[in-house]
Structure 1
Amino acid sequence: MSSPRPHFLVLTFPFQGHIAPALRLAQRLLADVPDALVTFSTTEAAHRHMFPAKPGDGDGAKVPADEHDSRLEFLPFSDGTEAGILPNMALNAYLASFHAEGARTVAEILDDLATRGRPVTRVVYTLLLPWAADVARDRGVPSALYWIQPVAVFAIYFHYFHGHGTVVAEHRHDPSFVVELPGLAPLTIGDLPNFLTDALGALAAVGAHDVLPVGPVLQSGEMSGIFKQDDVEYMEWLDAKPENSVVYVAFGSLATMGREQLDELLLGLEESGRPYLCVIRKDIKVALTDAEAEMPHECLKNGMVVEWCDQVRVLLHAAVGCFVTHCGWNSVMESVASGVPMVCVPGVSDQRMNAHLIVHDWRVGVRAQVDKGGVLRAAEVRRCIDEVMDDSEAAVEVRQMAGKWKQIVVEATGKGGSSYRNLMAFMDDGARSAV
């Protein structure tokens, strides 16, 4: 009897910030292991968003034939809901359903794939799916956590659950208090992730572990624009701008923004005197009142506001000279790989630590300060943009460092580089699991 082909089941939480890096990893697995199979799975609601039904499809969404071949399959699992997680839904209640139904239906996927002659040889799962390891273990399948945040954040969570949680908890209201964790430079409470949730409590049970740095795993191929078809208007707008002149602004797929913050942001961008491309998601506009939802066109003299754009394409454009970002890890890695300096406006989760890395460790950006009400004021927007885009010695150094880190990424991810070698080692181990 012949040995099964290496087959990776890639599972992910139904947020775009989780789906995107998981999908990129799936692409790399297919590209670098010629005989490998990959099954990509997220929740039914997210799957429908990725592959919306078109006229003539009948019931439900279908995967476009030209966006996968026989080696790649998309199979959704259930989270126990019809519409997925909603803005007003309690996270803990959703996670309970997600855990129970996700574990049950992923087990069914594993069994069905084995019955079809495509047995899974390695399960790979992202954050918030600790049950995936249990399901895989029950079926005798090796598994691996694909950590989609910086390894420094993994270390912080790990040490929090292994002897350092008390000191962090005791000083959580003092952002200037310095914490020393094994293997990490001293950090303030204000640098740490702003929550340590029960969903990450599984790290309490983690003992010795192997960590393979494989990033950044960047997007490529036809699947890069999977969430929305591209619109060339903003690319044509960029084409007409001088090199390194444009400020690009985007705060990710989850961050919210009120009218006051939007007004201050646009005012600061205009006062910078530089052309800017600003992403204001449709759901942010919808959340405003009807009167507020309209962009104040009289303020948009220097820039363009869009609801969505292909961020990697934008960051790679020669006209872009600065990225004002919420510091989500995907955005950070895309910016570093593109050599674009950043203005950091961190919000939740790992974003504060990401900002610390950007400003203090890599020196490729500056951190913006919000006021006591949490609003980023126009003057601060203007100041920070100047700090990375003007002709001062500090700004020149930031741009030089951004260029150096871009080269480091090229070397690490290219053939023979450290990240490339680690990914090959992981793939080779997955292939051996199939024997």
Structure 2
Amino acid sequence: MGSIEGQEIHVLMVALPFQGHLNPMLKFAKHLARTNLHFTLATIESARDLLSSTDEPHSLVDLVFFSDGLPKDDPRDHEPLTESLRKVGANNFSKIIEGKRFDCIISVPFTPWVPAVAAAHNIPCAILWIEACAGFSVYYRYYMKTNSFPDLEDPNQKVELPGLPFLEVRDLPTLMLPSHDGKSLDMWKADDYCMEWLDKQVRSSVFYISFGSILKSSENQVETIATALKNRGVPFLWVIRPKEKAENVDVLEDMVEEGQGVVIEWGQQVKILCHMAISCFVTHCGWNSTIETVVTGVPVVAYPTWFDQPLDARLLVDVFGIGVRMKNDVVDGELKVAEVERCIDAVTKVTDAADMRRRAAELKQATRSAMAPGGSLARNLDLFINDIKIVKNDVILTPK
């Protein structure tokens, strides 16, 4: 038998240019980093300028790009982009592989044409799941018809599935429901000056508010949350992108001018959550944010909207017990000031807040143990690398 010890292993990662796709890939590459592993990240051509101007990916991966088939000036909303890639993605992505031998391809579930390309080129392919395993359990049981589901038109219907808490239809990933949102994305350079502001705040006093890189907050939502923060006198650090225009809400502008809070376009979320001044994370419960709040031990006010977010919120609040769910009014569907104030009180003043913080600290310690040398995460990553080596060895030793 031959050996591949010391030989360079080339891994090609494929992701769409969404925060929730690229960030897990880059973090995965960081955890896999070994002296003889070389990573290349492939994404669509429209992300070239953005990623090429960012320092972080360059230390981890080489960047390559392929066409998504859309005109240059297309806004690339989620659904048209997905449909175009379904038609041309496989062919255009194949051109990257034809020029170089890769030992493994790692993709995400939302580029379903990648495994077929990998198989056509006789390259092993792995999928990096970027949602909660509970979400994939729901998908499997629904689409494979292993369990019965109620009428999905009624959001109040109960759903009982093995290994999961009791759910309502409203908690299911919105991809399954009769109608679901299609949103566009943006990615931005982080505003680091907010860290200086946090350094001046009292320990465990600041609410960090961010609803992710895709969804937009309405002016009513911003005004409602801002009013509740003003009424309760809570300091805040709030991520609001320029295109939302919601930063123009008068009450929010007044609070910023008075020094009660700071509004930024984007921030380094893990760095912010790790700051000692942060008390609570008001979040949309995207999977990246869900993981990051658990790893950093920060309680949440969960305000989910679409896709897997309602299920993630259920896990954070009812399974992990580290937060409270913020809901729109059942009559007019709008968020009310009293509801936001209830949530603020729940994570700051009442007896349950202490239990939330204790459980959040326990989860933080558990994740740190898993990530430490010899922990479950480290062991599983080593097993994955060994699998790549075995496949590479077989390819080298198998006669042509």
Task: State how 1:68-79 maps to structure 2 within 5 Å.
Answer: 68=58, 72-79=61-68
2:192–2:267: 8 Å Cα contact kept in structure 1?
A: no
Residue 84 of structure 1: how far off its partner (Å): 7.7
SS at match of 1:262: helix
SS at match of 1:153: helix
Q: What CA distance in whole angstroms lies between the structure 2 residues aligned with 1:362 and 1:413?
A: 19
Q: Which one of 229, 238, 246 corresponds to residue 278 of structure 1?
A: 238
Q: Which one of 348, 353, 364 corresponds to residue 389 of structure 1?
A: 348
Question: Against the structure 1 CA distance between its residues 351 and 67, is the aligned structure 2 distance closer, same or farther, given a 3 Å change threshold?
Answer: closer
Q: Which one of 142, 157, 166 corresponds to residue 186 of structure 1?
A: 166
> Aligned pair 1:401/2:359, yes or no?
yes
1:5–1:431: 8 Å Cα contact kept in structure 2?
A: no
- Per the alignment, residue 315 of structure 2 pairs with 357
Q: Which residue identity lines up with residue 112 of structure 1 in the other structure?
A: G
Q: Which residue identity lines up with residue 41 of structure 2 in the other structure?
A: F
- Per the alignment, residue 46 of structure 1 pairs with 47
> Aligned pair 1:343/2:301, yes or no?
yes
Residue 415 of structure 1: how far off its partner (Å): 1.1
2:282–2:303: 8 Å Cα contact kept in structure 1?
A: yes
1:267–1:299: 8 Å Cα contact kept in structure 2?
A: no
> Aligned pair 1:7/2:16, yes or no?
no
Residue 145 of structure 1: how far off its partner (Å): 1.1
Q: What CA distance in whole angstroms lies between the structure 2 residues aligned with 1:320 and 1:434?
A: 46
Question: Against the structure 1 CA distance between its residues 312 and 38, is the aligned structure 2 distance closer, same or farther, given a 3 Å change threshold?
Answer: same
Q: What CA distance in whole angstroms lies between the structure 1 residues aligned with 2:297 and 2:49?
A: 34
Question: Against the structure 1 CA distance between its residues 316 and 16, is the aligned structure 2 distance closer, same or farther, given a 3 Å change threshold?
Answer: same
- Per the alignment, residue 297 of structure 1 pairs with 253
Residue 355 of structure 1: how far off its partner (Å): 0.5
Residue 431 of structure 1: how far off its partner (Å): 2.0
Q: Which residue identity lines up with residue 312 of structure 1 in the other structure?
A: V
Q: Which one of 75, 89, 114 corresponds to residue 86 of structure 1?
A: 75
Kindly indicate whether structure 1 or structure 2 has the higher relative contact order, using CA contacts under 8 Å at least 6 residues apart. 1
2:227–2:251: 8 Å Cα contact kept in structure 1?
A: no
- Per the alignment, residue 35 of structure 1 pairs with 36
2:191–2:265: 8 Å Cα contact kept in structure 1?
A: no
> Aligned pair 1:254/2:188, yes or no?
no
SS at match of 1:249: strand
> Aligned pair 1:103/2:87, yes or no?
no
Moved over 6 A (4+): none
Residue 197 of structure 1: how far off its partner (Å): 8.2
- Per the alignment, residue 397 of structure 2 pairs with none
Residue 186 of structure 1: how far off its partner (Å): 3.3
1:313-337 deviations in whole A, cap 9, x for unaligned?
1100000010000000101111111
1:6–1:433: 8 Å Cα contact kept in structure 2?
A: no
1:252-297 deviations in whole A, cap 9, x for unaligned?
0011122222211211121221111111111212xx6xx9577752
1:338–1:406: 8 Å Cα contact kept in structure 2?
A: yes
Q: Which runs of 5+ in 2 are unaligned?
A: 179-186, 394-400
Q: Which one of 108, 112, 137 corresponds to residue 130 of structure 1?
A: 112
After the TM superposition, which of the residue ranges 7-16 and 186-195 deviates more from structure 2?
Answer: 186-195
Number of aligned residues: 379
Question: Against the structure 1 CA distance between its residues 231 and 258, is the aligned structure 2 distance closer, same or farther, given a 3 Å change threshold?
Answer: closer
Provide the TM-score with structure 2 as the length reference. Answer: 0.88
1:44–1:78: 8 Å Cα contact kept in structure 2?
A: yes
Q: Which runs of 5+ in 1 are unaligned?
A: 53-62, 114-118, 199-226
1:321–1:340: 8 Å Cα contact kept in structure 2?
A: yes
Q: What CA distance in whole angstroms lies between the structure 2 residues aligned with 1:313 and 1:278?
A: 14
Q: Which one of 306, 319, 323 corresponds to residue 277 of structure 2?
A: 319
- Per the alignment, residue 336 of structure 2 pairs with 377
Q: What CA distance in whole angstroms lies between the structure 1 residues aligned with 2:3 and 2:353?
A: 60
SS at match of 1:384: helix
